[in-house]
Amino acid sequence: MVKIKNLFLVILLSGIFSCSTSKPANKQSDNKPVAKRVIVIGLDGISVDGYKTASHPNLDALFGKGMVSFATRTVMPSVTLPNWTSHLTSGGPEQHGVDSNGWTIDKNNLPAIETDADGYYPSIFKILKDQVPGVKTAYYYNWGNLINPINRRYLDEVNFLEDDAYIENYDKALRFADEHKEDPTFIFLYSVHTDHAGHKYKWMSPEYIRSIEEADTAIGKLINALKEKNIFEDTHFLLITDHGGKGHGHGGVSEVEMNVPWAIVGPRIHNSDGFDAPNNNTNTARVIAELFQCKELPESWVGQIPGVIFKD
């Protein structure tokens, strides 16, 4: 009898210690196709008023077949690095600990509530690499601090440009997408020049509006090139930003700083004039995980899937 009890105890303890710290994705994930390709276009500092004022025919044509939110809320503070980290990790500053633009893994006020083996809060790049066989990931940026919260071991290609340059990164993103057109692919394509225009000239200034329109031109060229290479139709696109602004800055809790545009389009996305459902920057990584059918998510992720965006 003692041997039987001991055997039962061993089995019970083995079951306890083998449990994953991840939580299963919700039922929406069942029996849905894995996304072929997801491209996230990140434009820094885009306010709702700025987006609505600027002329951007290419973005209009792209997301006119998907869904656009003008009621997406940033995390607090309405500062660059905390919000981009939240987009890519599905956690707020309370979870990932990134509370300022000066955050580094070795210099921070609040440790992340959950970390990978290297001490980083788990990002969407880690989730994809752990769960999507053969996935290729790329990260293109032009503000140096942006990548600090992201563990580079989960990135297949990284490119940084100085002095607000971004066109070369759009070219590199196109090449990466084409080179890996047979692989599941996730591309993060970011530019800070729009934010810098706001800081220098003021939000809603002609120069700020022009910076959004210049980005739209580059986006249009990328879209046309993807179509020429026959890798557009099976691509999901997201347009995301970190905060709005007023005067020459941001960081407060006013609506013009905290409410931002957010858009998505692709084969699994509804075609609608827009949606008013609650949305948050922490939802972005959760939506990407759904697109790639990742089944196990970090326990500390707080992002949700806006219930209106996915087709049944």
Domain map (residue ranges) of the chain: 31-298
Beta-bridge mates of residue 296: 24
pLDDT digits (tens, 9 = 90+) for 136-180: 999 999 999 999 999 999 999 999 999 999 999 999 999 999 999
pTM beyond 0.85, yes or no: yes
d(CA 90, CA 254): 23
Contact 212, 51 (CB under 8 A): yes
The pLDDT assigned to 24 comes to 60
CA atoms within 13 A on the CB side of 208: 26
pLDDT of residue 268: 96
Q: Which CATH class is domain 31-298?
A: alpha beta
Which of 15-24, 49-58, 67-76 is least confident? 15-24
Contact of 300 with 114, CB cutoff 8 Å: yes
Mean pLDDT, all residues of the chain: 91
With CA atoms as reference, report the closest residue to 219 among 285, 288, 171: 171
pLDDT in tens, 221-247: 999 999 999 999 999 999 999 999 999
Quick one: pLDDT at residue 312? 75
CA 154 to CA 280: how far, in whole Å? 24
What pLDDT is attached to residue 4?
37
- What per-residue confidence (pLDDT) applies to 273? 78
pLDDT score of 8: 35
Which residues are within 8 A (CB) of 110 and not within 5 positions of it... i.e. 6 or more apart?
93, 97, 99
Terminal-residue alpha carbon distance, the chain: 54
pLDDT digits (tens, 9 = 90+) for 11-48: 333 333 333 346 666 544 455 668 999 999 999 999 99
Angle between helices 206-228 and 193-201 (to 10 degrees): 170
In percent, the amount of the chain with pLDDT more than 70 equals 89
Instruction: Kindly state the percentage of the chain with pLDDT values over 90.
Output: 86
Give residue 205's pLDDT: 98
